[in-house]
Homo-oligomer: A and B are copies of this chain.
Amino acid sequence: MSAQQYPVQALVASRRPHRKDAARNYDALLDAAREAFAEHGADASLEDIARRAGVGIGTLYRNFPSRRELFESVYANDVNELVRVAEEVADREPWEALTAWFARFAGYMVTKRAVREALDEESEIFDACRESMYAAGGPLFERAQQAGVARKDMDFGDLIRMVAGITATVFTDDAQRDRVLSIALDGVRTR
């Protein structure tokens, strides 16, 4: 659980300012941005984000000099959250730990989609986040494989993309999403 194990943690910690008012504004901007990304995707207006956060546009640009840095920060924070969850579920049964982790994916994918659209793969943050993600979730999957409940002819990268695709899709209701996800996971499970 060292800082090196999850490179994304450094990104999350490094930017937050020290002065009290500044830190408050920083947090408000991150929240407002996450909300705006969920609503408008990659084209959320920065001026709108500043407005939501109740700060001037100048404050937004001081904290995040470029659009890219704002996207990266929001994304890194979300990945960090998912890393935390992986630790939380680690003591459950192998298959159940894995599915519990994936249950948190829907929220994460909302941000992820906007960020991927906006940054278009050019950012090194994807490497750090993927690495953290794999370090967090990979062991859950490998444990399931070793316990003999998950098929061995696929890797974690295959699995995470499958789940990502399904959770990012629009369903008629949450019950359908759960049903479809569980059918797809039936393809992963050994019987």
Contacts and interface: CB of A to CB of B under 8 A. Distances in A.
A169 B179 contact: no
A144 to B, nearest CB: 14
B162 A184 contact: yes
A179 B166 contact: no
B157 A161 contact: no
A171 B155 CA distance: 13
| Copies of the chain in the assembly | 2
A174 to B, nearest CB: 13
Identify whether the interface residues of A are mostly helix, strand, loop, or mixed. helix
Contact of A180 (B42, B116, B161, B179): B161
Interface string A155-188: 0011001101111111110001001100111111
A95 B124 CA distance: 42
Nearest to A191: B191
Given A116-B170, A117-B41, A161-B171, A183 B176 contact: no
Contacts of A172: 157
Contacts of A170: 116, 161
A43 interface: yes
A154 interface: yes
A176 B158 contact: yes
A154 B183 contact: yes
15 contacts: A154-B180, A158-B176, A158-B179, A158-B183, A161-B169, A162-B183, A162-B184, A164-B169, A165-B169, A165-B180, A166-B184, A184-B184, A186-B186, A187-B188, A191-B191
Interface of A: 41-43, 116-117, 151, 154, 157-158, 161-162, 164-172, 176, 179-180, 183-188, 191
Given A41-B117, A164-B169, 7 more contacts: A157-B176, A158-B180, A161-B176, A162-B169, A165-B166, A185-B187, A186-B186
